Structure 1
Amino acid sequence: MLLIDPPAWPAHGRLWSHLVSDTSVEELHAFATRVGIPRRGFEGDHYDVPEERYAAVVAAGALPVEGRELLQRLRDSGLRIAKRKHERVLQSTSHASWLPRGGRADVIASRQENAPPNTVVVRLAVTGPSGLLVRRRPDGDLDLPSSPVGSATVEAALADLVVSTVGAAGRQAPSLIGYVRNVVREPDDHYPWPTPFACFAVHALPSSGREVLTVGEWVALRDSAGELGDRHWWPVVALHLGLISVDAAHD
């Protein structure tokens, strides 16, 4: 069912409602398309609807409810996607094929200072005149330089990753640009990460190109989508580099 709360949320000089589905994201997208709500209004588990569109959305079939009921029904449906301030959900894949049954993968862009709780892996998006730095995994695929957090703190794991990637010459501190979050409530015997949440944080680090890189190779930005577009973290990096828009990340 489609639900909408009253326009009571101020932003950009106007009031906004939240439009959700307690059935599926697919139902939500289909309804939004039918009533002409642009995809840029999608925030991972809801659409933002301006006050002047509220009556038309209700007339089209959305059930008006109070905000508290809307949030509770969204939570009960399992479709609620938590995020922090200054974060935006770029993609969310329900029943992700690479996760145990019922698992969901959220891709979130972030301007927070710190990685989210339950971060288990840190990745480094090093960019320079030659493009984006990558490493070749044992299976032959390309990936960002990465390191498990293990028993260390996220900060310590990230600092070690910077040194092992660009050496002590990495003078600029890396900044968080987003993360992939696995949501797995029923793990199988082969799933290695904590449950229900495991986060894989991506930090950006500009390079002058003068550092002595110990490992890795450069992928030109013009080739990066073809080489790396199937990586789960790709929307975060592509958005950071200006290679895609928020609308494209949602598609």
Structure 2
Amino acid sequence: MTIWIDPPAWPAHGRLWSHLISDTAIEELHAFAERAGLPRRGFEGDHYDIPQERYSQAVALGAHETSPSNIVRMLQDSGLRLRKRKGEKGIARVLGVGFPDNSRADIDLVRSALPTPDTATFAATVYVRERSGHWLAVWSPRRQEWSAPGGWRESGESPEQTAIRECLEESGIALPAGVLRQVGYERFYPLADTTWPIGDGRFLAVYRADITLDRPTLNGPDGEPSRWMSSADFLAAVADSWWFPMAETVVTSA
């Protein structure tokens, strides 16, 4: 396992930047960044952006110098590369996620205000916060976990309409269309041994809705409880889920 860094050559915010990666594991990369005193906000899902004044320190701590082209190649070879569009921020890349139907996928979690490709978007979810700062959590018997409301698109729906319908069905909360704003997406890469159950769908759109009521009454399906949780309680309830980095990003953002 090795940490790699390319020379500071990428201009932004009045300085030059390097990319710091691991060729094996994101956990190793985070551990190195912590030793180097690098802030977590510099993490871009598969690498850290390092300002030019921190380059020598990273090398002194053990980061191996290499070229930008090698950085990209090593990320691709390791399976850790997270693709994103301009203006987006990578949150995490999660490998080998298994689902109740026995399908498996590698998944990119991306923070973004850009819409997902419509024909490739198979599902949507919405994180709902009420006026006093509590978050809506619904229980999924199929997945046996708490989550934000969400589910698969139905014929003729837009992703936003899916999020609104799922929220109503799972909690009784009716969201007006104008309250939703896109905050990210999950992009799925089915693994070779998996028969993907939803055709060409690859994207799950992630929305946020801030409502002006104080913990309105919830009325979800029988046997599927829903509740309002504080930010800390919500994050604790979903801490073991593969999509936790997305939840953490949404809940801790302004």
Does the alignment reach a TM-score above 0.5?
yes
Question: Take 1:101 and 1:212, find their aligned partners in 2: how far apart are those partners?
Answer: 36
Residue matched to 1:46? 47
Do the aligned partners of residues 16 and 95 (structure 1) sit closer, same or farther apart at CA in structure 2, a change above 3 Å counting? same
Question: Take 1:201 and 1:93, find their aligned partners in 2: how far apart are those partners?
Answer: 17
Secondary structure of the corresponding residue to residue 179 of structure 2: coil
Do the aligned partners of residues 26 and 227 (structure 1) sit closer, same or farther apart at CA in structure 2, a change above 3 Å counting? closer
Question: Take 2:37 and 2:121, find their aligned partners in 1: how far apart are those partners?
Answer: 37
Residue matched to 2:180? 174
Q: Structure 1 regions of 5+ residues with no counterpart?
A: 246-251
Residue matched to 1:218? 227
Question: Take 1:102 and 1:135, find their aligned partners in 2: how far apart are those partners?
Answer: 23
Deviation at 1:183, TM superposition (A): 2.8
Q: TM-score normalised to the size of structure 1? A: 0.74
Instruction: Work out which of the residue numbers 236, 248, 251 in structure 1 matches 2:246.
Output: 236
Instruction: Work out which of the residue numbers 127, 130, 141 in structure 1 matches 2:129.
Output: 127
Identical residues among aligned pairs (%):
33
Deviation at 1:95, TM superposition (A): 3.5
- Would you say the 8 A contact 1:202–1:233 is kept in 2? no
Q: TM-score normalised to the size of structure 2? A: 0.73
Secondary structure of the corresponding residue to residue 147 of structure 1: strand
2:108 aligned with 1:106, yes or no? yes
Question: Take 2:35 and 2:211, find their aligned partners in 1: how far apart are those partners?
Answer: 45
Residue matched to 1:227? 237
Residue matched to 1:146? 150
Question: Take 1:151 and 1:176, find their aligned partners in 2: how far apart are those partners?
Answer: 21
Indicate the RMSD between aligned Cα atoms, in angstroms: 3.6
Q: Structure 2 regions of 5+ residues with no counterpart?
A: none
Residue matched to 1:248? none
Instruction: Work out which of the residue numbers 175, 184, 189 in structure 2 matches 1:183.
Output: 189
Secondary structure of the corresponding residue to residue 123 of structure 1: strand
- Would you say the 8 A contact 2:121–2:202 is kept in 1? yes
1:144-175 C-alpha deviation (Å, 9 max, x unpaired): 222312554434534544676544x6253311
Secondary structure of the corresponding residue to residue 74 of structure 1: helix
1:114-154 C-alpha deviation (Å, 9 max, x unpaired): 13563321112222147323333344643322231255443
Q: Which segment is superposed worse, 169-178 or 42-51? A: 169-178
Residue matched to 2:94? 93
Q: Which amino acid in 1 is paired with 2:79?
A: G
Question: Take 1:34 and 1:223, find their aligned partners in 2: how far apart are those partners?
Answer: 29
- Would you say the 8 A contact 2:8–2:55 is kept in 1? yes
Do the aligned partners of residues 102 and 74 (structure 1) sit closer, same or farther apart at CA in structure 2, a change above 3 Å counting? farther
Question: Take 2:8 and 2:140, find their aligned partners in 1: how far apart are those partners?
Answer: 49
Do the aligned partners of residues 30 and 224 (structure 1) sit closer, same or farther apart at CA in structure 2, a change above 3 Å counting? closer
Question: Take 1:214 and 1:14, find their aligned partners in 2: how far apart are those partners?
Answer: 53
Question: Take 1:70 and 1:57, find their aligned partners in 2: how far apart are those partners?
Answer: 15
Deviation at 1:224, TM superposition (A): 2.1
Deviation at 1:103, TM superposition (A): 4.0
Instruction: Work out which of the residue numbers 178, 201, 208 in structure 2 matches 1:204.
Output: 208
Deviation at 1:17, TM superposition (A): 0.6
